[in-house]
Every structure is written in structure tokens, then in C-alpha cells.
Amino acid sequence: LDLLVWPETVYPTTFGAPKSEAGAAFDREIAAFALASGVPLVFGAYDVEDGDEFNAAVFLEPDPLVAGRVGFDTYRKAWLFPLTERVPAWLDSPRLHERFPWLGNWQAGAGAHAMPLSLPRGRQLRVAPLICYDTLDAGLARAAVQQGADLIVTLSNDSWFASGGGPRLHLMHAAFRSIETRRPQIRATNTGISAVID
């Protein structure tokens, strides 16, 4: 195994900036798992900076230079799903959040990024991460490939599709990112359709 990929929001809190001792223990447990497996792990979590929260993909990998240590980096989702992840500024208010507590207040990430990963046996890989709604923006995948990405990794949680053809449609949108960029894709979803696209 060269790479393990888990879906969007599979990690229920921030990674690397724990909000509690239980969160810190959870971070240590996941880091120990990555060390024991010796394989990089990409998974959906949350990120925080200056009080702002982000939907994120964490790239966790055993440090190739220091035994027993893991390194990590994060990609922050660029295209936030309307209302459930982010409310437009013109509509946002405390009264609205009081009436609809499920409305999101995450911030958008900076955009496309080719994330470097160190694979077992000294190999290197550059990954274009996309989280859920990001797959609808062809420009994100294209820009990451222009930065040198070899592989697209898509994390999604399609639970907001209650029924019907939504998960298949979402998969089809993701597949077009591979067609357009001529890059293979690993897609991990916890409630939709996971796939390997070549």
C-alpha cells in the first residue's frame, strides 16, 4: 500500500490544533496509526487559524528523515457549499444563525495547490486535493496540475443527497476533472460513490 485516503469530515475535529485533551489524544492516535503503517494518510478534517475554521484535507505522513515523527500539511476547501458551509455576507446575521443553527460559518481556502507526499521507498508524489464541491470548479484541478500534480484526490461526504441520482452526478463531475487534466483520481466518500478513475 502506497497511500491511504479517507473521506471528507471523517475526522470530527481539527487536526494539529486540538480543542481539548480528548482531541489531542485523538491526534496522537491517528499519528501513531500513520507511523505504524508507514504509509501517508489523506483524510478530511477541520483546520483553524485566528479563530476562523476551514473544511480541510490533512496530508499526514511518516517523516522520512526522523524515525517516530510524522509531518502534516493541510489543504483548505476553496468552494464552500452554500448555506451548509458558508452563508453569504449580505445574508449572514446572528438572528439567522439562531433560527437556523445548522448554517455554516466556515471560511474558504486560498485555492488550488499541488501537495507533495513522500511515499514508501523514497518515492515522491504531488497531489491535487479537491473536497466535495471543489470538483465543480475545473479551474482548481487545472491549476494544481499546472503546479505539477500527478494525481487528483477527491474527498467527499455526499450525505446531503437524501436520495436519487445526486451521488452519481457528483461522481461524474469529479470524473471530468481527470478527463480534462489527464490525471488519475482517487475518490473517497463516506456516503456517496468512492472510485478510482484512470
What are the residues facing 30 on neighbouring strands?
none
**C-alpha–C-alpha distance, residues 111 and 116, integer Å:** 16
Say which amino acid occupies 183: R
171 burial level (CB within 10 Å; 0-12, 13-18, 19+):
buried
Element (H, E) at 197: strand 195-197
- Interatomic CA distance for residues 37 and 180, integer angstroms: 34
Closest CA to 39 of 62, 57, 59, 58: 62
119, three cell numbers: 511515499
d(CA 99, CA 103): 9
Q: Which residues are catalytic?
A: 8, 77, 132
Residue 134 φ then ψ, to 5°: -55, -30
